[in-house]
Amino acid sequence: MNRKTFTLIEIMLVVVIIAALAAMVFPRLTGKGEQGRIAAAKADISSNISLALKLYEVDNGAFPSTEEGLDALLSRPSSAINWNGPYLEKKPIDPWGNEYQYKSPGQNRPDYDLYSLGRDGRESEDDVVNWDK
């Protein structure tokens, strides 16, 4: 007799094996997405945006003011004497979809504070910053 169907025991065995594999793999993947977003924000802050700000400062003799903000890296503000931008291709948005925060002069550094508000979108312990906490 040719049997072309699966028994309930065979199906249950496959489900148990898949569940066991998922139980082993899932804890390893949990939190990796958030860690990736934090790493991307740190890279933006320490490299990409900071480099653009330094180029702006070299060209104009000072960093953009808090009021001018990071928009000064995209279009010429009235205070820029030798603007050679744009210094960034697009407005910098953090991995959580919020604008990066910028203050110059900074409250935590003499030149500027540059930070992401993190996952919760407000100033708290999860912020990614360009100064030592």
φ, ψ (nearest 5 deg) of residue 13: -65, -45
Amino acid residing at 64: P
pTM above 0.75?
A: no
Tell me the fold of 33-78+85-129: Glycoprotein, Type 4 Pilin (3.30.700)
For the chain, the structural domain boundaries read 33-78+85-129
Distance CA(5)–CA(124), nearest Å, equals: 57
Residue pLDDT, tens place only, 46-77: 888 999 999 999 999 999 999 999 999 999 99
Among 122, 108, 113, 107, residue whose Cα is nearest residue 45: 113
Buried b (16+ CB within 10 A) or exposed e, 42-81: eebbeeebeebbeebeeebeebbeeebbbebbbeebeebe
Residue pLDDT, tens place only, 105-127: 999 999 999 999 998 888 888 89
